[in-house]
Amino acid sequence: MSASPGSRDQEMERQSMDADIVCVGFGPATAGFLTTLCRGLAEAGAAAESAVMPGMPPQVLCYERAEDIGFGVSGVVTRARGIRASFPDLDLSRIPMAAEVGSEKVVYLLDPVGASRRSPALRLIERLIPRGRKDHAFELPWIPSFLRKEPGLVLSLGQFCQWVGGQVMASGLAQIWPGVPVAGPLFADGRVSGVRLADQGVDRQGRPEAGHMPGMDLRAALTVVGDGPVGPVGRAIDERLGLPAGHHRREWAVGMKMVVDLPEDCPLEPGAVLHTLGYPEPEIFGFLYVYPENTASLGIFVPSWFDNPARTAYRYLQHWMLHPYLWRYLKGGRLRSWGAKSLQESGRAGEPFLVGDGYARIGEGSGSTNVLTGSGVDEAWTTGVQLAEAVLELMAEKRPFSAENLERTYVARRRASWVEAGARRAAKARDGFQRGVLSGLVGMALAGLSGGALNWPGRSRRPHERIPSLEDYCRGLIPAEDLAALRRECAAKGAALHDAVMDRLGWPEIPFDGRLLVSHQDALLLGGKVQAPAGYADHVVFKDPSVCAACGTRTCVEACSGQAITPGPEGGAPLFDREKCVHCGACLWNCSQADPDDPEASNIEFRAGAGGLHSAEN
Amino acid sequence: MSAGFHIVVCGSLVPDPLQTLEPIRGPQGPGLKNEMMLPAILDPWAGHALFEAANLAASGGKVWLLSMGPKAKLQQVMMSVAQKAPFELVVLDGPAGGFTDAHFTARALAEAIEGIAGLDRSRLLLFGGWQSASRGAGSTLQMVGERLGVLDQFQGVDEIRVQDDGAFVVKERVEGGGYLVSRCAGPPAVLGWATGNLPEPPNNPQLGMANMRLIMPALQRAEPVPAEPGGLSFASVELPKARRETRLVKDLPPAEVAADILAWIKS
Amino acid sequence: MEKVLFLAHNEEGGGLSRACLEALSAARDLAQGLGAELAVGLFGGEVSGAAEAIGGCGAACFLAAAGPVFASSRYASDAAACEALCRASGAGLVVAAADSRLSRVLPGVAQRLGGRIDTHLTGLWVKDGSPAAARWFYRQRMVAEFTRSERPWLMSVESGCFEAFDGPGAVEPEPVAVDLSEACKRTEVLGLETPSADEQTIRPDAELLFVAGAGWTKKQADGRTHVKEAEGLILDFLNRTKASLGSSKSLVDISGEGHEVISYLTHLHQVGQTGATPRHPKGLAACCHGEEPHVVGWRFIGERRAINLDAGCGWAQGKADVLYVADAFEVLARLNELLARA
């Protein structure tokens, strides 16, 4: 067996426990897995017996890092093909904040303030758009079928997960334990033998203190890895086994979102879906989904190929909301919830080894997201369902959870399904974005319309190979000496640079209204209700502080969704404040420096951590 | 000598403290907007009571956690609480909101305690928070105690010290940051806890598993306790409206800020 | 016709506390508004001083359950005394202060009388010929107005919400017999533990509340914490101004986490969502950040000022009268210098 990330030898005895199946992370994939598994176990009755507790039903445990089910996930629009297959008689009135997709629009947003960075080619194209529009926007007359979500659902994934989780737990056939970060996988005899939970009663550096309790070892015949793209278990397995030849995980985005009480006179109907592109920067895409009771989920995606080293999703989100096309709907609204999450955008190119002896990967961390259709939840759910069907089959056959058996049952199901077909069509759909927004959009259209046969090629680069220096990014816009002065001013205040840089680039000041437009810190408190329990180690660790000291870019500070990473003293690594972290994981891929020992990794380690968002509405 | 205590901790769920709360008027009276969607936690002071109870019972005795609340929400909250301390859950599927009359809650809790099999009332310590974070009345426990005939009651408790003869010394919060110190001859007694002295225990998965074997059946067994209107009627429930005009003083040297504050303090 | 009983206990020195005098005003106003008779019920070791302090309140009768056995604050004897006083008065409405002694005993008394109780009232008046009351719910997050039809209706009122009654007069209370069984004496009060004047940092009667936030223990611009310095500055300030100390939840929690701590801070200092909501004429907050749930800690503070480095600070914006955007370490140091000279 190996130690897991962040673990250290303990004087106090480490407890261990045996289960039949242990799941890591309760997102849509594990929700699909446990829903299907529990139904199957209920049907099997006494025929399904625990190997570790003979005479009892199989002991199925799920550990979720966040402090409740559904904390810190997202608003989604989904075709819900897999979800509907699991719930053929789905009654949406039983799920808060769910609605059928009613109308769908793709809107190109022009820049009403003149501060965004648009290529000459894009400017040329924009000239073709009819002028004089008060709302500075252009609704696409037609939405390609590969982007359409009708007939589909808009959902609060948080509420959906709570709804599913409640049923799973009420079945008595699986237990979902929130507030329990899993430190990493356990390996024994060449197989994954379970997981180790995070140590408790430790200081920020992980040293034992009052109430010390070494994280328990949970041994299980099958470990179901559904901990998402930045989850420590999936990444530790990848580190140990590598990725399949030619695969990589270099494309990311951070989705920053809000749930908003819309103003009373808002004309948007439940089920209305808006996708936007073009503003606040051409690289940033936006969404707005309308829930029942005059509530909406909205937000932006800031991708890793947006080469701005001071990319602050929060400030950009506010400028996006203030765009006249959107602000007419949002003005007078009120922030209910806020959050952020990393999305793995490599698609099928980021698929890890799906199974091995004793483990299986499901959901976004298994590369199931379709990067052409921009759909991940339904795919994640379906991979969970497929694994559960495979597990039930193997249990019935009384066969072990070996790589071979899981390959034959789970992987075979997945490969034969619509998830795989879609992933193949989407495999190269986004390659064009490596060269720019226009080539990216054209590439997506080519792939979408040709069923994946055509695409715009682009060589994938690691984030740290892409991120330019701020000086390069601002060349011709902010004189070097002015930039140096901004740096000095911000350093003296211990503040990030992005606001000063954006102000200087001509972005207008945000007119805070204390309701919807609030300071970043107030968004954490008012929207995200962010908090962290005591007794856990810092989960964001700067691997080699000397690399940080020499880093002039510090995108980690600029991009941090919770302002949890701050510049810190001169000559040292940035500071990390666990109590502000929303666990979006963006620092992991927003680091502009390579890990000295691993060019695919950065200088930031993102471990298992407790706390974060306390809202289940996102 | 805590071996003999039978400790019943009364505590229910309240909204997670950082949530935005907004009152609404429903057919049953006032409530909270999106009440079922708000993340919930075990009432903090009741939580302290539970940790103190578990600590007392560690060397013997038994702890029950008696909760009245919507069953689905309780199930959710129990997944966090179950990992903290060993207890047996008793569930009443009823209202947990702040606008429920404490008298109604007390009656339901007292009847539930009377129905707990194996509970020795002569060894009973009735624990709970000295106030809930919802109603904040600080009256339910005393009424439950009275219904059960318990005459030794303490509120705002931060410490219990059990003595060799079975008696215990209790420290209760009083005005001005002080404590009233009393010695009680022994159970039965009611203790409404303030913060206590124990830190929140770590999450213990084994404990969670052990508790869960009784929690799920208890939830499944839970009887509905319909709310009773009673004679309490609300005319209005409102968020405070007053928003102050905040004068921002920027770019003033610290000495001048200090002088300004001093003048204000003296005014 | 309704009858209102004002219920109180004497203080150590023999008189009535300010909180009880305020409750008497509430009871008198209520009785007056209803056209009801007012009665006074006093319990404690020796209540003649207390009775005389309010002899001019216009009560139709003064009842007393007094004697050494009622001198100390003990639930069982207090409950017996209050029950006897309530029964003897025949009142349908009972008003008392929400101090620690009465808050502990009144709900049990309500239960014994078959009545109902509402505690921590912040308003009490007559509406359409019936009593109406206001109190806060969800830890001071929302305020409700309500009434109830059940009698007896016991009510405790928060301090700071009514003018203290001032009207002494000669009066001889009528003793009420209390049946106190041996079972009521199983608890023995050992005494009070109060912090010494030097250690005293919670001063309910202070003019000023100083609220310290978690920012005091955070890393400052130099990348280091300065907790010892913060501790000295705050204590110095408190001693010089005799202000009362409150603290945000996060600062108290940090203190419990084994980090470098402000040594004299305990959960008793905590204000806000899971702490106290004290009443003081003025409040000064420094290094506090937070939104609605936390800010309830100074909901009942008159004039409010805050010192914070963040101009958008949710603790202050819209909630304080003045927000100084400044370094609290520097400001407090200068302030202490000025106080030393003054």
pLDDT of residue C204: 82
Please judge whether A533 and B200 are an interchain contact, meaning their C-beta atoms are less than 8 angstroms apart.
Answer: yes
pLDDT of residue C201: 84
Give A492's pLDDT tier (boundaries 50, 70, 90): confident
pLDDT of residue C1: 81
Is the CB of residue B176 less than 8 Å from the CB of residue C245? no
Give A213's pLDDT tier (boundaries 50, 70, 90): very high
pLDDT tens digits, A174-212: 999 999 999 999 999 999 999 999 999 999 899 998 889
Which of 23-52 (C) contact B at CB < 8 A? none
* Structural tokens at position B164: 């060799």
In what order do the strands lie in the sheet containing C142-148?
Answer: B232-238, C142-148, C130-137, C123-127
Q: Is the pLDDT of residue C293 over 70?
A: no
Residue B127 burial by CB count (10 A; 0-12/13-18/19+): exposed, middle or buried? buried
Q: Is A531 on the interface with B (CB under 8 A)?
A: yes
Q: B136: how many CB neighbours lie within 10 A of its CB?
A: 21
pLDDT of residue C254: 60
Q: Is the pLDDT of residue B2 over 50?
A: no
- Residue B140 has phi, psi (to 5 degrees) of -65, -50
Q: Is the pLDDT of residue C7 over 60?
A: yes
Please judge whether B44 and C107 are an interchain contact, meaning their C-beta atoms are less than 8 angstroms apart.
Answer: no
Can you state the percent helix, strand and coil of chain A, rounding each to 5? 30, 20, 45
pLDDT of residue B75: 94
Tell how strand B23-26 and strand B29-32 pair up. antiparallel
What class has domain C3-185?
alpha beta
Is the CB of residue A599 less than 8 Å from the CB of residue A471? no
ipTM comes to: 0.94
Give the span between the Cα atoms of C211 and C247, in whole angstroms.
5
Please judge whether C324 and B174 are an interchain contact, meaning their C-beta atoms are less than 8 angstroms apart.
Answer: no
Q: Is the pLDDT of residue B200 over 90?
A: no
pLDDT of residue A609: 93
Please judge whether B254 and C323 are an interchain contact, meaning their C-beta atoms are less than 8 angstroms apart.
Answer: no
pLDDT of residue C314: 72
Give the span between the Cα atoms of C237 and C227, in whole angstroms.
15
Give the span between the Cα atoms of A539 and A230, in whole angstroms.
12
Q: Is A197 on the interface with B (CB under 8 A)?
A: yes
Is the CB of residue B158 less than 8 Å from the CB of residue B180? no
- A68: closest CA of chain C, how far (Å): 20
What residues in C contact A572, CB-CB < 8 Å?
223
**What mean pLDDT do residues A13-37 have?**
96
Is the CB of residue B185 less than 8 Å from the CB of residue C187? yes
pLDDT tens digits, B80-116: 999 999 999 999 999 999 999 999 999 999 999 999 9
pLDDT of residue A10: 41
CATH value of B6-224 in 1.10.10.10, 1.10.3720.10, 3.40.50.720, 3.40.50.620:
3.40.50.620
Q: What is the CATH number of domain A97-155+249-346?
A: 3.30.9.90
pLDDT of residue A102: 96
* Structural tokens at position B125: 């310590």
**What mean pLDDT do residues A216-229 have?**
97
User: B55, B76, B200: which to substitute to probe chain A, counting the most A Cβ within 10 Å?
Assistant: B76
Does domain C208-341 sit in CATH 3.40.50.1220? Answer: yes
**In this prediction, what percent of chain C has a pLDDT beyond 70?**
94
Q: Is C303 on the interface with B (CB under 8 A)?
A: yes
Is the CB of residue A69 less than 8 Å from the CB of residue A161? yes
| Chain B partners (3+ C-beta pairs within 8 A) | A, C
pLDDT of residue A63: 97
Closest Cβ opposite residue C73 in set B20, B180, B259: B180
Tell how strand A334-344 and strand A575-576 pair up. unpaired
- Residue C319 has phi, psi (to 5 degrees) of -120, -25
| Chain C partners (3+ C-beta pairs within 8 A) | A, B
The winner for highest mean pLDDT among A531-535, C83-87, C296-300, C307-311 is C83-87
pLDDT of residue C258: 46
What is the domain partition of chain A in residue ranges? 17-73+159-202+211-248+349-425, 97-155+249-346, 428-460, 465-606
Average pLDDT value for chain A: 93
CB pairs under 8 A between A and B: 86
**In this prediction, what percent of chain B has a pLDDT beyond 70?**
99
Which H or E run includes C308? Answer: strand C301-308
In chain C, ranges of CATH 3.40.50.620 domains:
3-185
pLDDT of residue A586: 97
Give the E-state strand segments of A191-282 in sequence order: 191-197, 200-202, 208-213, 217-225, 252-261, 272-277
Q: Select from B142, B140, B90 the least CA-distant residue to B119.
A: B90
Q: Which fold has domain A17-73+159-202+211-248+349-425?
A: FAD/NAD(P)-binding domain (3.50.50)
Tell how strand A355-356 and strand A359-361 pair up. antiparallel
pLDDT of residue A1: 36
- B217: closest CA of chain C, how far (Å): 31
Is the CB of residue C309 less than 8 Å from the CB of residue C209? no
Q: What is the 3-state secondary structure (H, E, C) of B190-205?
A: EEEECCCCCCCCCCCH
Q: Identify the closest residue of chain A to B80 by CA–CA distance.
A: A178
Q: Is C18 on the interface with B (CB under 8 A)?
A: no
* Structural tokens at position A596: 């000295």
pLDDT of residue A214: 95
